[in-house]
Chains A and B, each alone.
Chain A
Amino acid sequence: MNQQLNTAFTLFLSLLVEAMPFLLVGVLFSGLLLLFVDERQMIARLPKNPLMGALFGSMIGFLFPVCECGNVPVARRLLMQGAPAPVAIGFLLAAPTINPIVIWATWTAFRDQPEIVVLRVVFSLAIATIIGWVFSAQADLRPILQPAIGTRLKLIATKPEPKQLSTFEQEAPTPQLLQSGTYWLGQKSQPIRMDATVLQATLAATPPSKPLSDRLRLLLDNTIQELRELGAVLVLGSAIAASIQVLVPREVILGLGSGPITSIGTMMLLAGLVSICSTVDAFFALSFASTFTSGSLLAFLVFGPMIDLKGVGLMLAIFKPRAIFYLFGLAAQLTFLFTLFVNLYVI
């Protein structure tokens, strides 16, 4: 028992020590790019064709390497600044995977199985593009969006961009202080809400004219918020991974992990529940590499960043529950089909 505890603890620490640097790089990088990439210019050049738009949106992750916590606010801003739905949805689903840091981390974990790295990228891109394309059939987005964003979209349709910085104040149906969040008071007449979501929005919305020191402070605060939040989820995720490895009898794990269908189901369920950040989820999956089918590891790596418990909470900031249900259903089915194909015919 003592030895088991020791093994679990060593496993737990090794996951954390290996993942922490990637988390730091991911958080810093996404903060920096939000600071320096001009979204408005990019949106003006988006392709009009829905399929191309969805594909393009799926690849914006290379410009905004955000985790699945950062992608929701960015997708939300894209929508509010008038980006078409396929682009925003493609981005929402693919950005956590299709970005250099996540690909690097996946490569670090699975350098013995390069096919996992490649297929992760290909499947994520394909699924995000397909779903983005499907959603392009919905011409009027307002029924599936939260009212605040819907109203904002109507505003865009009727008149040009009124003011850029105050998007968050405008959309708020309740006074700022009645909403949850962290606030800075006493700096302007308006309290500024301080949580990761808003920090990132503020970061991106900060006009270049603002002094560099202010922007750097926002970057620092954003880094700390994200490290804290995502770090805590990482700790919990690693604890779960380590406990499963040690506490669940090997026969059960082998039984679930070797079946082509049961293994995919199990890993998708884990992906949904564990909510580990996409920058480091490859290390979580790695601890199952010896017992689970390659297809199921892929299912975890493709499905997890798109939809999980934590992500659903954040997505409610954009979509009505019905839309999230569609997104979830489509993503789950496509992931299942793709990875089952891998299990049965490829590896």
Chain B
Amino acid sequence: MLDMMNSMQNRKSKIPNWLLPWLDVLAIASWGILMLRYWLTGKLNLLIHPDYFWLVITGGLGLLLVSGLKAWDLLRRRRTKVTNTGHITLFPPGFSSALLLTTAIVGLLFTPRVFASQTALQRGVTDVLGATRAQPQAFRSSVRPEERSLLDWVRTLNVYPEPDAYTGQKVKLQGFVIHPRELPPGYLLLSRFVITCCAADAYPVGLPVKLLANSQVYPPDTWLEVEGKMITENRGGKRQLTIQASSLKQISEPQNPYDY
């Protein structure tokens, strides 16, 4: 193990030695820029929960500060002879910085996009919050039914799962379209992703919508605003809360596609 690491370290670096510290500066600065850029362009909410924006912003500024100090230090010490042979403990010289820099550049070039129906199907959409899922933090049953969001509905349903209790209540919801295999034609699943920390834990919730016309009119990932009322339907031997749509309106993807 040690031999292997030593041989990795002893390999001659192709990058000139004096450049290595600058590569560090660049790599760290690029991450600071990337993080601040996500914040400034409003893309940060695609990646993490708004509660942690301040962490990313402070972190980004901190990285810029560290790289700035190092750059200043390097410029100031230019004349004193510092031989940095560039050996690093784990990876070959320059590898770590190059990897960080490359990742940051890729991050700057490609914008992250919101998760879509395919990911939802891969992760399994339910109207049930599993044991490990976010428990309602402020549960208000007094909210008027038509003001509940999709997540509010799913949470309400988790607290009191009897579908009949909601029959006839008015619904107005926004979400994107999924066509799961289990749903018969004439239905679609209206869903949203919910995140508690960052996109890594995003999970989809959804409620079935009974359409007026054939479901194929709305391709997957279309964002819809659905108005209607709640009904109970028997599907797969299970009574399920379903939305009987009275109007469906195609909308553009909301600024903040996730629910919290």
CB-CB under 8 A for A16 and B201, given A3-B118, A232-B96? no
How far is A246 from B202 in the complex, measured between Cα atoms in Å? 13
- Which chain B residues lie closer than 8 Å to A21 at the CB level? 35, 55-56, 58-60, 62
How far is A251 from B168 in the complex, measured between Cα atoms in Å? 38
- Which chain A residues lie closer than 8 Å to B66 at the CB level? 24, 220, 223-224, 227
Interface residues of B in 111-156 (CB under 8 A from A): 112-116, 118-119, 122-124, 130-135
Check if A13 is an interface residue, CB within 8 A of chain B. Answer: yes
Check if B41 is an interface residue, CB within 8 A of chain A. Answer: no
A253: min CB distance to chain B, Å: 10
Of B6, B59, B73, B107, which one neighbours A217 at CB under 8 angstroms?
A: B73
Instruction: Report yes or no: A316 in contact with B2, Cβ–Cβ below 8 A.
Output: yes
**Main SS of chain B's interface residues?**
helix
Interface residues of A in 1-42 (CB under 8 A from B): 3-4, 6-7, 9-11, 13-18, 20-22, 24-25, 28
Residue of B nearest to A186 (CB): B81
Contact bitstring B26-46, A, C-beta under 8 A = 1, else 0: 011001001100100000101
Check if B97 is an interface residue, CB within 8 A of chain A. Answer: yes
CB-CB under 8 A for A3 and B116, given A11-B199, A24-B59? yes
- Which chain A residues lie closer than 8 Å to B47 at the CB level? 10, 13-14, 17-18
Of B55, B70, B134, which one neighbours A224 at CB under 8 angstroms?
A: B70
Contact bitstring A171-202, B, C-beta under 8 A = 1, else 0: 00000000011111110000000111100000
Check if A310 is an interface residue, CB within 8 A of chain B. Answer: yes
Size range of the chain B interface in the assembly: 35 or more
B98: min CB distance to chain A, Å: 9
Instruction: Report yes or no: A182 in contact with B196, Cβ–Cβ below 8 A.
Output: no
Instruction: Report yes or no: A229 in contact with B113, Cβ–Cβ below 8 A.
Output: no
Instruction: Report yes or no: A14 in contact with B119, Cβ–Cβ below 8 A.
Output: no
Pick from A82-90, A137-145, A286-294, A329-337 the stretch touching chain B: A286-294
- Which chain A residues lie closer than 8 Å to B201 at the CB level? 109, 286-287, 289-290
Residue of B nearest to A197 (CB): B89
- Which chain A residues lie closer than 8 Å to B83 at the CB level? 183-186
Check if A313 is an interface residue, CB within 8 A of chain B. Answer: yes
B48: min CB distance to chain A, Å: 5
Instruction: Report yes or no: B132 in contact with A286, Cβ–Cβ below 8 A.
Output: no
How far is A107 from B131 in the complex, measured between Cα atoms in Å? 18
Check if B99 is an interface residue, CB within 8 A of chain A. Answer: yes
Number of interface residues of A (CB under 8 A): 64
Check if A91 is an interface residue, CB within 8 A of chain B. Answer: no
Instruction: Report yes or no: B112 in contact with A13, Cβ–Cβ below 8 A.
Output: yes
How far is A221 from B197 in the complex, measured between Cα atoms in Å? 31
Of A11, A22, A232, which one neighbours B200 at CB under 8 angstroms?
A: A11
Contact bitstring A206-234, B, C-beta under 8 A = 1, else 0: 00000000000100100111011101110
30 intermolecular pairs with C-beta atoms under 8 Å apart = A3-B119, A7-B116, A9-B112, A10-B46, A11-B200, A14-B48, A16-B103, A20-B59, A21-B62, A112-B196, A181-B87, A181-B89, A184-B84, A223-B66, A227-B63, A228-B88, A229-B88, A229-B90, A232-B99, A235-B99, A235-B103, A250-B122, A250-B124, A283-B198, A286-B200, A287-B201, A290-B130, A290-B132, A313-B90, A314-B89
Residues of A within 8 A of B (CB): 3-4, 6-7, 9-11, 13-18, 20-22, 24-25, 28, 108-109, 111-113, 180-186, 194-197, 217, 220, 223-225, 227-229, 231-233, 235-236, 241, 245-246, 250, 283, 286-287, 289-290, 294, 310, 312-314, 316, 347
